[in-house]
């Protein structure tokens, strides 16, 4: 059997999805990147290798996320795509008539507007990360609520408290203030969800034409409190797809399937990569005033790629092609 592998290497999580020929999910993984994308990718590959059914071969690999270039270089990818396109592809696969995708990940959030199966508009958060997964994690920890129970707690609220959601730091001080005034924790948690949704709609989704059906993707979609807050603010039902947390990786796998269609080879280096020794080094190029930080990545001692320079002086050296 042939299978397609998608990797989404983000700032907070590294996700892997393995698809079969019909596009059904064979296995999916959600790992914490923990500041070490190389280790996360290797760990993920090792786990997929364990779970892969006998007689299955990898026919195509796609990468996405902020670490897409690194991951592509490491594993040998057939396609490297930005996370907006990857999320849109996965959403369309889930629900072909989808018109809006709300996505909130670890450190970024985005909105994708689709019409008749095509992306027509999108936006990503620019100035502020208030309302993303990292912030929710932090607040849950501060309130002593496990993040998994955060949403259920919010659902029990009767009178959500109004919390200033413009900035993560001010939201936190406002929450502390409300706690000190004696508001019940569930009302604060629900209020926080509403504040974050308000912030998202006023910043990321500003000026966007939100229409149903709406899909809610990303790790934060697991939070029922956030989903309800979106439904309340938008007045439409919000659908959370089963693989919401790994939609980027799913999209990358679907894109890999498309990329290798009609050819018989893949750039995949094989699962051995999980045992390779990778070394990354960076230095400041003194060639001009830009002082680009040039990154160099070696696998098993061999130069695989360089990037980070604006002029191509370093990245255009002949290295083994990472595939595009």
Partner 1 sequence: MKVTFPHMGHLHVPLRSFFAALGVETVVPPPIGRETLALGTRYAPEFACLPLKVNVGNFLQAARMGADTVVMAGGVGPCRFGYYAQVEREILRDLGVKLDMVVLEPPQGHWRELWLGLRAITGGADLKAIWRAGKLAWRKLTALDELERELHRVRAREATPGASTEAWRKIVDRLDRAEAVSEVEEVARQGKALLAAIPRREDDDVLRVGLVGEIYTLLEPAVNLEVERVLGEMGVEVERSIYLSDWVKTNLVFHSLHLRDDREEYRLAAPYLGHFVGGHGLESISFTIRYARAGLDGVIQLAPLTCMPEIVAESILPKVSRDVGIPVLTFMLDEHASEVGMRTRLEAFCDLLRERRRRKERFLVGARDAAADLRE
The one segment of 24-32, 121-129, 152-160, 225-233 that binds partner 1 by CB under 8 A: 121-129
Site for partner 1 contains 291 (CB under 8 A): yes
User: Which of 148, 209, 272, 300 is in the footprint of partner 1 by CB under 8 A?
Assistant: 209
Nearest distance from C-beta of residue 303 to partner 1, angstroms:
19
User: Which of 120, 141, 176, 279 is in the footprint of partner 1 by CB under 8 A?
Assistant: 120
Site for partner 1 contains 279 (CB under 8 A): no
Site string for partner 1, 50-89 (x = CB under 8 A): ----------------x--------------xxxxx----
The one segment of 46-54, 94-102, 155-163, 311-319 that binds partner 1 by CB under 8 A: 311-319
Q: What's the Cα-to-Cα distance from 33 to each of 10, 13, 42, 56, 65, rounded to whole Å?
A: 7, 5, 11, 27, 12
Question: 58 or 111, CB closer to partner 1?
Answer: 111
Q: Which residue, among 220, 129, 124, 127, has the nearest Cα to 169 in the 3D structure?
A: 129
Taking CB under 8 A as the criterion, which residues in 156-195 touch partner 1?
none
Per rule CB under 8 A, count of chain residues that contact partner 1: 26
User: Which of 311, 317, 321, 324 is in the footprint of partner 1 by CB under 8 A?
Assistant: 311
- The C-alpha atoms of residue 209 and residue 114 are separated, in whole angstroms, by 10
Spatial CB neighbours of 121, under 8 Å, sequence gap ≥ 6: 112, 113, 208, 209
Angle 168-180/133-143 helices, nearest 10 degrees?
20
Site string for partner 1, 124-143 (x = CB under 8 A): x-xx----------------
Q: What's the Cα-to-Cα distance from 164 to each of 153, 179, 200, 227, 302, rounded to whole Å?
A: 20, 14, 13, 19, 52
**Helices marked H in the chain:** 37-51, 68-75, 83-94, 133-143, 147-155, 168-180, 185-202, 224-234, 247-260
Residue 301 has φ and ψ, to the nearest 5°, of 80, -10
Spatial CB neighbours of 118, under 8 Å, sequence gap ≥ 6: none
Question: 55 or 207, CB closer to partner 1?
Answer: 207
- The C-alpha atoms of residue 145 and residue 20 are separated, in whole angstroms, by 38
Nearest distance from C-beta of residue 71 to partner 1, angstroms:
14
User: Which of 54, 118, 181, 261 is in the footprint of partner 1 by CB under 8 A?
Assistant: 118
The one segment of 40-48, 122-130, 133-141, 225-233 that binds partner 1 by CB under 8 A: 122-130
Site string for partner 1, 85-114 (x = CB under 8 A): x-----------------------------
User: Which of 182, 235, 262, 312 is in the footprint of partner 1 by CB under 8 A?
Assistant: 312
Angle 224-234/147-155 helices, nearest 10 degrees?
40
Site for partner 1 contains 290 (CB under 8 A): yes
User: Which of 51, 121, 148, 149 is in the footprint of partner 1 by CB under 8 A?
Assistant: 121
Residue 34 has φ and ψ, to the nearest 5°, of 45, 45
262: left (phi over 0), alpha (psi -120 to 50) or beta: left
Residue 11 tokens read as 């700032």
Nearest distance from C-beta of residue 85 to partner 1, angstroms:
4
175 in Cβ contact with 163 (< 8 Å): yes
Calculate the CA 158 to chain-centre distance: 32
Nearest distance from C-beta of residue 82 to partner 1, angstroms:
4
Residues of this chain that bind partner 1 (CB under 8 A): 66, 81-85, 116, 118-122, 124, 126-127, 207-209, 288-291, 310-312, 316
């Amino acid at each position: 059997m042939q299978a397609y592998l998608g990797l989404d290497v983000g700032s907070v999580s590294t996700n892997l999805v393995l698809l079969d020929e019909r596009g059904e999910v064979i296995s999916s993984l959600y790992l914490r990147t923990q500041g070490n994308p190389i280790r996360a990718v290797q760990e993920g590959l090792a786990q997929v290798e364990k779970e892969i059914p006998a007689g299955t071969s990898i026919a195509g690999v796609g990468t996405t996320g902020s670490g897409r270039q690194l991951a592509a270089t490491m594993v040998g990818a057939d396609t490297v795509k930005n996370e907006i396109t990857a999320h849109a592809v996965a959403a369309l696969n889930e629900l072909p008539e989808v018109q809006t995708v709300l996505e909130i990940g670890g450190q970024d959030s985005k909105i994708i507007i689709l019409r008749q199966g095509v992306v027509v508009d999108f936006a990503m958060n620019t100035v502020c990360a208030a309302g993303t997964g990292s912030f929710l994690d932090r607040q849950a920890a501060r309130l002593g609520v496990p993040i998994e129970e955060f949403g259920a707690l919010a659902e029990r609220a009767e009178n959500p408290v109004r919390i200033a959601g413009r900035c993560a730091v001010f939201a936190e001080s406002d929450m502390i203030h409300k706690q000190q005034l004696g508001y019940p924790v569930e009302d604060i948690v629900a209020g926080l969800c509403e504040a974050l949704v308000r912030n998202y709609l006023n910043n990321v989704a500003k000026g966007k034409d939100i229409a149903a059906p709406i899909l809610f993707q990303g790790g934060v979609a697991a939070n029922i409190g956030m989903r309800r807050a979106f439904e309340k603010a938008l007045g439409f039902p919000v659908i959370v797809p089963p693989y919401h947390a790994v939609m980027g990786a799913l999209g990358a796998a679907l894109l890999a399937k498309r990329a290798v269609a009609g050819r018989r080879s893949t750039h995949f280096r094989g699962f051995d990569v999980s045992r390779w020794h990778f070394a990354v080094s960076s230095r400041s190029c003194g060639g001009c005033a830009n002082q680009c930080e040039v990154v160099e990545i070696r696998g098993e001692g061999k130069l695989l790629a360089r990037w980070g320079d604006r002029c191509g002086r370093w990245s255009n050296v002949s290295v083994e092609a990472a595939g595009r």
